[in-house]
Amino acid sequence: MKFIINYILLSVICSLLPHPKIRAIYLRLLGATIGSNVRIENVFFIQFQYSIRNLHCNDNVHIGTNTILDLSEKIFIEKYVGVGPGCTILTHQNFGEYHGNVLSTIYKTKYLPVVLSEHAIIGADTTILAGSTVGRCSLVGAKSLVNGDIPANALAFGNPARVIKDHGPLLPPSEVLK
């Protein structure tokens, strides 16, 4: 029953909301931690049996349309993060244990949080796997696969995503203009 209620609340009603800021307020009312000035486009949630409380978005976050968010474990999106359209953020790995797939005896089920640190940008159609962290002021290029950690101040892309360049520490625009 809980699954059906969560499905209706997160997939049906949430997708009918007309504006990304209204959607953010709605998700806050359902129990997600949502900061101020957060824009959540029309996204998809998977693993409804887990709580919307696993979603933590700080201030000034944008999550692009058609992004898939896995609620199996916590997703931490720190302030000033941009997630491009069509991204997938997974917080679990399961090779069919529930269905008795023999591969699940070798590759065990994992539930691990994902962290997108301050000022990170995630390019369109990127997949971020369970347990990954994208460092502060890092840019992950479009159509990348993040499996592990991307350090701070990095430009990374590819499958798997690799650091191509370290652009050094950056100051927020408010501090640069002083």
User: Domain limits of the chain?
Assistant: 2-176
Across 1-5, 20-24, 145-149, least confident range: 1-5
Return the HEC string of the chain. Answer: CHHHHHHHHHHHHHHHCCCHHHHHHHHHHHCCEECCCCEECCCEEECCCCCHHHEEECCCCEECCCCEEECCCCEEECCCCEECCCCEECCEECCCCCCCCHHHHCCCCEECCEEECCCCEECCCCEECCCCEECCCCEECCCCEECCEECCCEEEECCCCEEEEECCCCCCHHHHCC
Confidence of residue 163 (pLDDT cuts 50, 70, 90): very high
| pLDDT value, residue 97 | 82
- Mean pLDDT (the chain, rounded): 92
Confidence of residue 125 (pLDDT cuts 50, 70, 90): very high
Q: In this predicted model, which residue has the larger pLDDT, 79 or 4?
A: 79
Distance (Å, whole) CA 13 – CA 23: 9
**Count of beta carbons in the 10 Å neighbourhood of residue 36:** 11
Residues with Cβ within 8 Å of 101's Cβ and at least 6 positions away in sequence, in order, are 95
The model's pTM is 0.92
The predicted-structure confidence for 62-98, as pLDDT tens digits, reads as follows 999 999 999 999 999 999 999 999 999 999 998 888 8
Mean pLDDT of 149-158: 97
Is 54 a residue whose pLDDT tops 80? yes
Percent of the residues in the chain that have a pLDDT greater than 90, as a whole number: 74
Q: Given CATH 3.40.50.2020, say whether it is the number of domain 2-176.
A: no
